[in-house]
Amino acid sequence: MSSQQQPAAPVKLITAFGSPFAHRVEVALTLKGVPYELVVEDLANKSELLLAHNPVHQSVPVLLHGGRAVCESLVIVEYVDEAFHQATAPRILPADPYHRATARFWADFIANKCLKPMWLSMWAEGEAQARFARETKESLGVLDAQLEGKRFFGGDALGFVDLAACTLARWLGVLEEVAGVRLMADGEYPALRRWAKEYVSDEVVRRSLPDRDELAAFFAANKERYRSRVREAVQQQ
Amino acid sequence: MAGGDELRLLGFWGSPFVLRARLALSFKGLSYEYVEEDLTNKSELLLRSNPVHNKVPVLIHNGKPICETQIIVQYLDEVYGASNGPSLLPVDPYDRAMARFWAAYIDDKLLSSLMMMSRGKTEEEKAEGRKQSSASMETLERAVKECSKGKPFFGGDGVGYVDVVLGGFIPWVNLIDRLTGSRQFFDAGKTPLLAAWLERFGSLHAAKVVMPDMERLVELSEMSS
């Protein structure tokens, strides 16, 4: 492919304030040098555009490219990595199949064993809350060990797993404050703490990272809704 | 396969996730050593190869472990490309994204509703599971239309990634239907395209040779309930 190639059609990203999932896609697009336009949704009042392009999940992010929609943040990140591949742009997933499998493994671990219980631990109550907190902390420990002195999960440069883990770098700290649930106590998970600082200071990441105070205000405004939704979800388990 | 290329699959005959890996290996015409695990007494090899989850399937390629069923299938497709059987994932990035989207949907929505149906602790939970499974099947009916574009499989003329991912669940949903005496899944009246897909997929030699025996599955479910 020519190193001067421009995307054939404009790229739009349907997003909502504070979404770590949409943030993953923004970083991916920026890493690949793809210009894009943001369409910001009010998730309490979803647009026809969103419902038409993501009828299955009705959630953000949704990437619109050449009139076609791609949904699910990590599916979109892989799409961006492949569709906008150029010799001069960094790879988000490594080239080697074994390393790709390893990256996908850790992204899956982060999504299922870390982020899901983390969210639930913020808003659940009693025994369920304690269980989710324990599960999350165990996973944080595994991730801390996985970093083993590396700058990023991807090595020297940001990669797929760092994007999968982005929630832990900015959102977790804010949630801990708003929900009053401390998962990362002082001195715990030193490698993960160091990684979080590296992540949020990264030049590319900074461009699409939500402001800490704005994020806190956003979560605080919605916390009763989160609590009742999680209460329902826990009852169904 | 190149000389000295060793593939081993650690599995359990009753697992739909292991079945997926076997379907992928079968469709790609790959030789491998299959190791049946006793899940009540997991081998050192399994625990060493999948220290994070201790689960099957695990693919071991020249001594290196790959875990998680969808990751295994993608790995096989990337390593063996079009040189061994057809590519499971399409070439075009958008079509690949569609395949990954639907595979993720199957393992998120369909799987959780199947679990609720079969392992729900109360009648309400099981009923909710049935409702959600029904809704998932209707959504997948739309998916098969979109992905196949009138051709026999999600992958088009030949079996692809989504066919293999959904294919792993076939014995399980047949088992649920058998145990409940109903035709909850792949009902030709409600989801005709999926019902037709099931017939076609199930009749392929590469699928038949790895499908577990239904009577053994019934016995297994009776033992664990």
Question: Looking at the structure, do residues B71 and B109 belong to the same domain, yes or no?
Answer: no
Q: Which of residues 121-180 of B touch A (CB under 8 A)?
A: 125, 128, 139
Q: Is A125 on the interface with B (CB under 8 A)?
A: no
For residue B10, give the nearest of B53, B60, B52 by alpha carbon: B60
By three-state DSSP, how is residue A39 classified? strand
Please answer whether residues B20 and B164 qualify as being in contact, where contact means their C-beta atoms are separated by less than 8 angstroms. yes
CB pairs under 8 A between A and B: 56
**DSSP code for A113:** I
Question: Is B88 among the domain residues?
Answer: no
List beta partners, residue A38.
A13
> Helix, strand, or coil here: A71?
strand
CATH number for position B118: 1.20.1050.10
Which residues, in sequence order, are CB contacts of A206 under 8 Å at separation 6+? Answer: A200
The answer to whether the Cβ–Cβ distance between B125 and A236 falls below 8 Å is: yes
- Domain of residue B191 covers 93-224
- Domain edge (last residue) among B50, B80, B110: B80
Query: From the CA of A211, how many Å to the nearest CA of chain B?
Result: 30
Residues B100 and B172 in one domain: yes
Kindly give the confidence (pLDDT) of every residue in chain A, 237 residues in length, as a single tens digit, with 9 standing for 90 and above: 444 455 468 999 999 999 999 999 999 999 999 999 999 999 999 999 999 999 999 999 999 999 899 999 999 999 999 999 998 889 999 999 999 999 999 999 999 999 999 999 999 999 999 999 999 999 999 999 999 889 999 899 999 999 999 999 999 999 999 999 999 999 999 999 999 999 999 999 999 999 999 999 999 999 999 999 999 988 876
**What integer pLDDT is reported at residue A9 of this predicted model?**
84
Do B70 and B105 fall into the same domain?
no
CATH number, residue B53: 3.40.30.10
Whether this model's ipTM surpasses 0.90 comes out as yes
Q: pTM (2 decimals)?
A: 0.95
